[in-house]
Copies of this chain bind each other. A is one copy, B any other.
Amino acid sequence: MTIHELSPQRSAALTGVIPPVSTPLTPDYEVDTASLTRLVDHLLAGGVDGLFVLGSTSEVAFLPDSHRKIVLDTVTHHVAGQVPVLAGVIDMTALRVLDHARVAVEAGVDGLVATAPFYTRTHPAEIELHFRTIAAQTGLPLYAYDLPVSVHSKLGGDLLLELASDGVLAGVKDSSGDEGALRGVILGRRDRRDIASFSVLTGSELTVETALWMGADGVVPGLGNVDPHGYARLFRAASNGDWEAARAEQERLLQLFELVNVGRPRMGLGSSALGAFKAALYLRGIIDHPTTAVPQIPLNDDEIARVGKYLSASGLL
C-alpha cells in the first residue's frame, strides 16, 4: 500500500496486521533508536502490513514531543515506504492534535490516528467537530481511535459512518471491546458504496479472527510486537478462508497474552502490559532494555522471568 492508496481518492481500505509499535527506551528514558529499528525489522520480517507508531502501546502518553519526533523520523526513514506508517497524534483536543499532526506529516507518515477529546468533559457534538477540525487541516487519511478506557467516551456507529461518508475519516481502530457495535459499523458500511474504502480495524488481541469473520479489515494488536509472525499467520489463514487455522493461532495468542498480568496487582494493567511486551522483546533479543517510561512501575526480575515462561510455552524462546 502506498501513500496514494491512502489518500482520499484511494480505492482500497487499509487492511492486515498493523501493530502499534513499542517504543524502546534507554535506561535513562531516551528513545533507543537502534532497538527501535531492530524492532521495525522484526515486525516487517514477521509479515506485518503496516505500522502504527505513537499509539497507546507505544507509550505515547509518556513520551515528550521530542521523543515522539525521534520515533516518527526513525521509523519512516527506516521503513522507507515498504509498508504504510500510521502515526498517533494523541492529545487532549484538536489544536494540540494538529501540532502533532504537522510533525507527523513532515516525517512522511501515511495516515494519522486520533482519539476523541479527553481530560475535558466532552459531548457528541464536540467529538464530531474535533474530528472535522483535524481532518480539514491535514492532507492525510485520518483514523479514529475508539478507546473508551482512556478517553471515557465511546464513538457512536452513526457518527463514524457519517464522518466516513463526508470524507473526514478513512477508518477506525476499535479498541472499545464492544463487538456488537463494531459489527454495526461493518454492516453499515456494507450498504454504502461511497464508504467502501473505510477501514475497520480491531484493536483487540483476543478476538481477531472473529472480527475478520465479521468483516473487519485488519487488526492493531499490541501483542503483535512480541509475535508478529503469529498475527500474520492468523490474518493469512483468515484471508484464505482457513478459519480453523486462524482460530488455532488466535487461541495460542490468547494464552500468550496472559503475560500482560505478570505485574498485577502491584502495578496498574498499563504498566504491567507495556512492561511485559518490552520484557518479551528484551528476552527475545530484539531490544536492548526492557525499560518503560516513568511513572510506570518497572517489572522486577521475577516478573520478567515469568514473561519468559509465557514465551517458552508459546515456542517463542
Contact = CB atoms under 8 A, between A and B. Distances in A.
A294 B135 CA distance: 13
A254 B183 contact: yes
Contact of A119 (B90, B125, B247): B90
Contacts of A66: 99
Contacts of A179: 177, 179, 204, 206-207, 210
B29 A95 contact: yes
Interface in A34-85: 56, 61-67
Interface in A126-162: 126-130, 132-133, 149-152
Contacts of A126: 267-268, 271, 295-297
A314 interface: no
A120 B150 contact: yes
Contacts of A206: 179-180, 183-184
A65 B92 CA distance: 12
A92 B296 CA distance: 12
Contacts of A251: 183, 187
Contacts of A247: 213-214
Contact of A94 (B117, B121, B255, B294): B294
Copies of this protein, total: 4
A197 interface: no
A199 interface: no
Contacts of A271: 123, 126
A220 interface: no
A87 interface: no
A62 B118 contact: no
Contact of A213 (B117, B210, B270): B210
Given A93-B293, A206-B183, A294-B94, A61 B268 contact: no
Contacts of A177: 177-180
Contacts of A150: 119-121
Closest 8 CB pairs of A and B: A123-B268, A180-B206, A129-B295, A210-B210, A130-B295, A61-B92, A121-B270, A61-B119
9 contacts: A93-B293, A121-B150, A152-B152, A177-B180, A179-B204, A179-B210, A180-B206, A187-B254, A210-B210
Interface of A: 29, 56, 61-67, 90, 92-96, 98-99, 117-123, 125-130, 132-133, 149-152, 177-180, 183-184, 187, 204-207, 210, 213-214, 243, 247, 251, 254-255, 266-271, 293-297
